[in-house]
Structures are given as structure tokens and as C-alpha cells.
Amino acid sequence: MTQVVLSFYQARPLLQAWLRGEVQAQTSLDLGLTSCSVQLDKDGVQLPDGEMVSWEAVEEICGMETSCFKLGSGELHRIQAYSEQFERLYSLMPTSLAPTMLVSGIPMHRIKDTDPYHDTREKIRSVKPVVGHVLDTATGLGYTAIEAAKTAEAVITIELDEAALEVARQNPWSQALFEDPKIQQCLGDSFDVVEDFKAGSFTRIIHDPPAFSLAGDLYSGEFYQRLYRLLRNGGRLFHYVGDPESKSGRSITSGVVRRLQQAGFREVRKAPRAYGVTAMK
């Protein structure tokens, strides 16, 4: 059986079903990707493979709305990883659809009035058609690379921190990141790693960096010049910035637009639905 990952979205309906006197329920054991039937009794929830999740464990999951739990060796483990190198805590946070990742408490996807899956699709849609060779500058949970690989010839994705990939490996929604042969992973700082690629290597670049406070160099004019070198003539770039209506978002967006233009990009335009900026070479 594949790994079992649960959140309060799955736990609460199970507990409610048992309190109503039901002995069977439908649930998801992979954060909503698939559904299956489980048995309920006085000891807890019996999974299809015979493993049991106690009601005490179910109640613990119910009370932790920002955590996801993996079942292993009969015990539940919160999905998180601490990076000694960067002194950051990465954890998997559930939403009504695909989970997001918290980096030192900051969500890496939009979760207000949307979810990480649809958030990713908006970013990809902003530079459609996504074809040829694609560069994803910040892997995270791998959603961008996975979505791009559906239509692209190949995708290279860069992740700064191995701890983030440790969380992604335990996320059911991230498995294609490790299984799709069209996706190539690189570990390192995007600011430096992109120097290893040949000029004109990519037809599309999806630049979805962490918050400015965590990775200011990925918003710099020097980095934009490096991305410009990598993009083929006629190629397109999407740059996630953040809420364009917020005070900080407006300020960051105006600076990003100016520096992209100075780096040589043309047709630099706001993409409000994707909370970012698009540009062409």
C-alpha cells in the first residue's frame, strides 16, 4: 500500500461518522487524491491493509489544522523537517485540495480564496503554451515542475534546501517530482546554479522565489540578467511577486518590473490573476 497521509480534513469526518454510530466510511489516505472505504470500531479506524489508526490519534490530527501526518510502523509522524544549514523549519500544511509548505511559518502558496493546485495552474497559464525546455527556479513541493512537465519537453527544477525535498517526498501530491522522467532536479542556490546552463537553453522560465525577506538576491537585477541570458529569443518568463493590492506587493512589483526591463526583457506586464509579472525576450 502507498504511504498514508492524513490531515484534519480527513480525520474530522471519520470521527463524526463514528459518533453517528456508523461502522464504515469513505475517506482519502493521500490528502484527497483518491478515495477508499475504511472500517470504524471502538479501537479506531481500520485501513484497507489492516493497519489501525486509534481514535486518540484521529483526535490529535483533528486538533492540528496546520499539520499533515504520515502513518508509519503503526505510528503517526508530523510531516516536517528542520534545516540546520539554513535554520528553517519546513512543514506540510493541508488545504481543501493540495497542501502547501510552510517555511518558518510562511505559506509558500496562495491559500486565500484559492489553493496551491489552482495557484500553480494560474502561474503556468500566464506563459502558455508551456512547451520546449522549462526552468523552474524554486522547486518547493514541485507543483510547478509537475504541471509544466505535462506539456513541456523537459523541465529543470532547482531547490536550495534538501530539507524542503524531504518534506516533498512525503507529500502525495509531489510524487511526480520524483517519478516523472521529464523532470530533472538540481540542488543548490538558483542564483549560482543558473550560471551552469548554456545561453538560450529555455523556452519558458517560471520564477517563483520565496518571500523577498528570505531570498532577496533572487529579486536582483543581476539575477534577472542571468535569466535573460538563459531564455531563448521569443521565450517567456513568469515571475511570482505576491498580492499586487498589498502595500508591499505594489512596491516589490514596481521594482521587479523596472529591473526586468533594465535586464533587457520586453513586454513586461503585470499578471494579476497569477499574482506576478510576465516578460519576453
Residue 275 Cα to chain centre, angstroms: 15
| CA–CA distance, 255 with 144 (Å, rounded to integer) | 24
pLDDT single digits (tens) 61-97? 999 999 999 998 778 999 999 999 999 999 999 999 9
Residue 251: what pLDDT? 81
> Which pLDDT belongs to residue 183?
98
pLDDT at 213 > cutoff 80: no
Q: Please give the C-alpha separations between residue 274 and each of 59, 100, 182, 191, in angstroms, as whole numbers.
A: 37, 16, 25, 23
Across residues 202-230, what is the average pLDDT?
Answer: 93
The DSSP secondary-structure symbol of 99 reads: -
pLDDT (tens digit per residue) in 49-70: 889 999 999 999 999 999 999 9
pLDDT digits (tens, 9 = 90+) for 131-182: 999 999 999 999 999 999 999 999 999 999 999 999 999 999 999 999 999 9
Q: pTM for the complete prediction?
A: 0.93
Return the H-helix or E-strand segment holding 203: strand 202-207
Write down the pLDDT at residue 243. Answer: 80
Q: What is the mean pLDDT of residues 214-221?
A: 90
Alpha carbon distance 92, 81 (integer Å)? 9
Compute the distance between CA of residue 54 and CA of residue 76 in angstroms, rounded to an integer.
10
Please tell me the least confidently modeled range out of 197-201, 216-220, 233-237: 216-220
- Domains of the chain, CATH where assigned: 4-78 (no CATH), 112-280 (3.40.50.150)
Provide the grid cell at 112: 486565500
- Tell me the C-alpha distance between 114 and 254, whole Å: 24
pLDDT digits (tens, 9 = 90+) for 92-129: 999 999 999 999 898 999 888 889 999 999 999 999 99
Q: What is the distance of C-alpha 278 from the center of its chain?
A: 20
Chain Cα centroid distance, residue 187? 16
Is the Cβ–Cβ distance between 131 and 236 less than 8 Å? no
> pLDDT tens digits, residue range 245-272?
777 777 889 999 999 999 999 999 999 8
Cell of 19: 459518533
Nearest to 207 by CA among 158, 152, 258: 158
What is the band of 212 on the pLDDT scale with cuts at 50, 70, 90? confident
Considering the chain, what is the average pLDDT of its residues? 94
How far is Cα of residue 250 from the mean position of the Cα atoms in its chain?
Answer: 24
